[in-house]
């Protein structure tokens, strides 16, 4: 058993239910919106009714002129020229969703104008990210005349030189950060180049390719207006552009917001053959039309993982073949294959998660090491990034997983050198920039790169222990010797009167959600737990929560009831997304829980119980103010020992052997024998002291114990307990 680690809560806006801000109230009346919706709009920078309407109707977003991007006209003109000359063009892409959608839309467009076009996506396992010399030589031997990179290439300086030396041409389209030396190419299209005047720098790789298609269509269709040409490209490809943008976690503002909004609408109302097949396969029903509401969240959690899975453990070409497919039967087969690959990925992921948690419990020093660093011989390095993310979420601290899985160099041969090189993937929390941390360890790494909260690395086996020490030394400075604590942010507080179907429907108007426009998170204080149950084979928790007139179901995914350590009649604060559950054509409101904690009054009571125990145990407690009743509530009697012993004996027969003190107190209450924390704590200690039960404290911080039945022939003599004798002495000393 491992409890959730505490996280810091931040609430952007908090208001009294009867004294909402004048600004919120004014806009609420003008627009007829629910007050929380108006607060969300204010949080996003809207200041009045007009700006709120502009945001909801996306009036301020527009598509920028593609020719504002550096080298765009040069690239578009030359690609058209090479295509019309019948020369071989190869699209070189990345193996993630952004790369796959980029390859797909550029391939479809070039094919539509009669180009001789192919594509190449490297193997994640054999080749890794970016272009390789072997692949370039192979493409040259096959007659390639021009290589166009998508979602990659901006750092391929040496590879660009090889391309030119082989007599091929290179056009780079990318969206990653640029170094000072841009590779030598016929054209480099990347809005992040320092001298690029394009007004929006946060396009995904597929967004840059979309702008390239717009530019080519404008040039290739002189009879059309610029608007007509762009609309034609958008009508054909905006769905895939949206999927790639969402999957690559790009900020959903400026033209990204418009692209994703229009694209998701297309996916929902008129999906292409390939997406229809994938949507249906995702719910395991290929005979009926998929009717799920298509949101950015649905893309991120349902569609993107299936597309990504191909590149993670097989070949990304399978996903490209799906998007290019025009045959419904073939599309269905490929979609089902992607779903099967995703199931393989999930199985492998779950296996790694289980192994990683076991390693954490056995190896990690939570007291001294802020960063969890684990390595293994068998972990699939295409999956460890997902697992690292879940570990960071669970333990609220940075995590780096390293795989020494022998994947070789793509040639089919495994060498000793291969098996001694580990590939790692890391995730971090606010407070420690992961790239800065890796830079601090750069002399120990073969290569590394990434962002503040996510990065990758390669390391030699012999330098692993030094790396663990070095990165934790760095992290201790980041967190000022305190234990790292992840933070969660809520938009505003909700009250029972705010929770309505109308409010939930209005949240759809703020779509699409993503970076810069996150899914709204709310907080509600002082909710009573009416029921707790496990779902999903014990992996998730379903709660029924009440407050005033409100009764609502709350789903807490990836945590079992035992891990939550919350029970019926507890009073808790909840941080959540407000969601509409559509089950068997019946719609109901539900919470998707992000975090829970004991409400202030209950938390303070339990903290006072803990302080009381500590003061008694440390011999500094003054019992002079205690009444006889108070003393009796603290000192356990034989009947108390018997009640807990019999309860544990019963639970052990059902193979339930691990409990927190909170869990024991709740079980006792449910069995009609309420006992306070201090008394239960002392009873457990006496059980251990007198060997009445086997007691192993497996998590001192969370006070979780594992019990074992011990056959005892005679009744225990409690008078022999030094712990009990000391307790009585401390309470009757004055």
- Strands 116-120, 88-93: pairing is parallel
**Mean predicted confidence (pLDDT) in 486-509:** 92
* Contact assessment for residue 10 and residue 490, using Cβ atoms and an 8 Å cutoff: yes
Per-residue model confidence (pLDDT) at position 483: 66
Pairing relationship of beta strands 146-150 and 88-93 according to DSSP bridges: parallel
User: What pLDDT does 18 receive?
Assistant: 43
Mean pLDDT check: name the lowest of 335-339, 340-344, 698-702.
Answer: 698-702
What SS3 string covers 267-290?
A: HHHCCCHHHHHHHHHHCCCCCCCC
**Rounded mean pLDDT of 263-269?**
94
Burial class (CB in 10 A: 0-12, 13-18, 19+), 229: buried
Q: Output the CA–CA distances (angstroms, integers) from residue 52 to 25, 37, 41, 484, in the order listed.
A: 14, 10, 6, 38
- The model's pLDDT over 586-617, given as tens digits with 9 standing for 90+, comes to 899 999 999 999 999 999 999 999 999 999 98
Residue 445 has pLDDT above 80, yes or no: yes
Backbone angles phi, psi at 189, to 5 degrees: -110, 105
Q: Measured between alpha carbons, how far is residue 703 from residues 2, 6, 259, 585, 683 in Å?
A: 10, 14, 50, 44, 14
Residue for token digits 């691990």?
658
Q: What integer pLDDT is reported at residue 285 of this predicted model?
A: 45
Confirm if 410 and 340 have CB atoms less than 8 A apart: no
**CA-angle at 565, arms to 582 and 400, nearest 5°:** 85
pLDDT at 128: 62
CA atoms within 13 A on the CB side of 546: 10
- The mean pLDDT of the chain is 89
> What does the pLDDT look like over 529-566, one tens digit per residue?
999 999 988 889 999 999 999 999 999 998 899 889 99
Q: Do 136 and 155 meet the contact criterion of CB atoms below 8 Å apart?
A: no
pLDDT grade for 413, boundaries at 50, 70 and 90: very low
> Mean per-residue pLDDT for 487-499?
92
In the predicted structure, residue 286 carries a pLDDT above the cut 80: no
Where do we find the tokens 């109230």? Answer: 25
For the whole model, what pTM was predicted?
Answer: 0.79
Which pLDDT score, from 0 to 100, does residue 419 have? Answer: 62
Q: Which residue has the tokens 């193979």?
A: 655
């Amino acid at each position: 058993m491992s409890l959730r680690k505490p996280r810091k809560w931040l609430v952007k806006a908090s208001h009294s239910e009867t004294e909402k801000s004048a600004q919120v109230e004014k806009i609420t009346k003008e627009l007829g919106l629910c007050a929380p919706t108006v607060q969300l709009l204010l949080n996003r920078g809207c200041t009045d009714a007009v700006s709120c309407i502009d945001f909801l109707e996306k009036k301020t977003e527009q598509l920028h002129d593609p020719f504002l991007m550096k080298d765009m006209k040069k690239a578009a003109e030359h690609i058209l020229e090479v295509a019309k000359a019948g020369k071989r063009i190869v699209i070189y892409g990345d193996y993630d969703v952004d790369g796959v959608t980029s390859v797909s839309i550029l391939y479809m467009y070039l094919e539509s104008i009669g180009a001789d076009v192919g594509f190449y996506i490297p193997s994640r396992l054999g080749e890794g990210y970016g272009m390789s010399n072997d692949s370039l030589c192979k493409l040259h031997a096959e007659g390639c005349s021009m290589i166009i990179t998508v979602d990659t290439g901006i750092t391929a300086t040496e590879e660009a030189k090889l391309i030119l030396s082989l007599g091929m041409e290179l056009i780079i389209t990318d969206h990653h950060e640029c170094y000072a030396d841009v590779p030598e190419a016929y054209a480099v299209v990347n809005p992040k180049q320092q001298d690029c005047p394009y007004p929006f720098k946060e396009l995904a790789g597929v967004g840059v390719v979309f702008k390239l298609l717009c530019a080519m269509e404008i040039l290739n269709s002189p009879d059309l207006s610029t608007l007509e040409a762009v609309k034609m490209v958008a009508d054909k490809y905006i769905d895939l552009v949206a999927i790639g943008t969402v999957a690559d976690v790009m900020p959903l503002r400026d033209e990204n917001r418009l692209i994703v909004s229009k694209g998701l609408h297309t996916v929902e109302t008129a999906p292409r053959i390939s997406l229809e097949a994938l949507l249906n396969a995702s719910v395991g029903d290929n005979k009926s039309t998929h009717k799920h509401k298509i949101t950015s969240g649905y893309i991120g959690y349902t569609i993107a993982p299936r597309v990504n899975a191909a590149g993670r453990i097989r070949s990304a070409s399978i996903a490209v073949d799906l998007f290019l497919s025009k045959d419904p039967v073939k599309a269905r087969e490929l979609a089902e294959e992607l779903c099967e690959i995703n199931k393989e990925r999930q199985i492998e992921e779950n296996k790694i998660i289980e192994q990683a948690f076991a390693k954490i419990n056995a190896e990690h020093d939570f007291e001294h090491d802020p960063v969890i660093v684990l390595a293994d011989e068998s972990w699939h390095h295409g999956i460890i990034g997902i697992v690292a993310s879940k570990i960071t979420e669970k333990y609220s601290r940075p995590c780096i997983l390293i795989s020494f899985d022998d994947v070789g160099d793509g040639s089919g041969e495994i060498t000793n050198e291969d098996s001694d090189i580990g590939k790692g993937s890391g995730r971090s929390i606010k407070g420690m920039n992961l790239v800065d941390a890796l830079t601090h360890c750069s002399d120990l790494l073969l290569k590394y790169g990434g962002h503040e909260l996510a990065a990758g690395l390669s390391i030699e086996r012999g330098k692993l222990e030094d790396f663990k020490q070095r990165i934790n030394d760095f992290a201790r400075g980041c967190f000022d010797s305190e234990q790292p604590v992840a933070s969660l942010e809520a938009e505003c507080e909700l009250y029972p009167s705010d929770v309505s179907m109308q409010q939930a429907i209005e949240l759809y108007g703020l779509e699409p959600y993503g970076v810069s426009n996150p899914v709204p998170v709310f907080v509600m204080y002082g909710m009573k737990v009416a029921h707790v149950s496990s779902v999903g084979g014990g992996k998730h928790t379903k709660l029924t929560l009440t407050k005033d007139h409100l009764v609502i179901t709350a789903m807490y995914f990836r945590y079992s009831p035992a891990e939550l350590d919350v029970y019926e009649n507890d009073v808790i604060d909840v941080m959540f997304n407000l969601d509409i559950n559509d089950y068997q054509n019946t719609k109901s409101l539900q919470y998707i829980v992000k975090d829970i904690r004991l409400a202030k009054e209950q938390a303070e009571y339990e903290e006072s119980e803990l302080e009381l125990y500590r003061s008694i145990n440390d011999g500094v407690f003054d019992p002079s103010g205690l009444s006889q009743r108070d003393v009796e509530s603290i000192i356990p009697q034989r009947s108390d020992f018997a009640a807990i012993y019999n309860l544990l004996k019963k639970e052990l027969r059902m193979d339930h052997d691990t409990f927190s003190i909170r869990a024991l107190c709740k079980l006792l209450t449910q069995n009609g024998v309420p006992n306070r924390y201090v008394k239960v704590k002392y009873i457990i200690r006496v059980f251990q002291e007198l060997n009445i039960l086997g007691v192993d404290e497996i998590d001192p911080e969370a006070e979780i114990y594992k019990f074992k039945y011990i056959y005892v022939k005679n009744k225990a003599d409690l008078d022999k307990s030094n712990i009990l004798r000391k307790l009585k002495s401390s309470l009757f000393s004055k």
